[in-house]
Structure 1
Amino acid sequence: MRTIIVLCLLLSLTACTTAQPTPTPTDELIIPTPVSGQAVVYGRVLSSITGQPIYRVRVAFAEVIRNGETAIFVDDAAFSPFAETDTDGRFVLPDLPPKEYVIVIGDPFGLNDVVRNPDGLPKVWNIEAGQQLDIGEVRVNIGV
């Protein structure tokens, strides 16, 4: 009986400490169909410093709030919709509510960057219901 208990304990310890495989991207990114009234956004994040894909980084959609000609964006870590990139820097965000957003990439409480227009201002994305939007490759000032 004691041998069985020791064997069970060893098996459970082995199961807990076995290395899990690192997730790798598939050859083809699967883009879901948007659910009613929502959108799907996908793309790839690269470092403008190294040119390499950025792995396991948060891609958040910060809502743009307008007051006349003034606009701000709010990246609320608790409520902003977000996705995480895979090993090739790709991400898919299904079920995104239609609104205007600025894309913030990185840690909401630490190192992050905003996707910008060529003039240096934050790029505003107008997301529409039913849309499958490929934002392409975006480069941000974050290292790998």
Structure 2
Amino acid sequence: MLDFGLAALHHILVFGLVVMLAMELALLRAPVIDIRKLARLDAGYGLTAILVLAAGAARILCGAKGWAVYRDNPAFWTKLGLFAAIGLLSILPTVAFLRWAREARADPAFQPTPARRAGVVRCVRAELGLVLVLVVAAAAMARWPLV
């Protein structure tokens, strides 16, 4: 039952990451950005990413399969590398959101320029694209060595 619970939690958290990225894109495309909401959402995204890693680690350490199955699985390492790449890529939007929040505190009418928005939108879209590849790696991981 523990293995099932950890797997379910891990999947729910990953879906939460996808929802939060989609919400960030929606907020960035609004005519007027609610910068405080965007910054809070991004903080939730970061916290959820940490929880995804914690749940994944718990699955490895306490789950039914054990470390040996993951250690030798190339799809696992691909998935982990993709997660790291997504995390590194997410630094750029986070820094922008923090900067925008600081500017909005100084000037409540502040809105980022279209060029600044566009750069952040590209990063968030790239994150979502990498998440799709990560899901494919997860499917391959679950079927290894049969893939």
Instruction: Tell me the TM-score normalized by structure 2.
Output: 0.25
Query: Which has the greater radius of gyration?
Result: 1
Instruction: Tell me the TM-score normalized by structure 1.
Output: 0.25
Q: Which has the higher helix share?
A: 2
Q: Which has the higher strand share?
A: 1
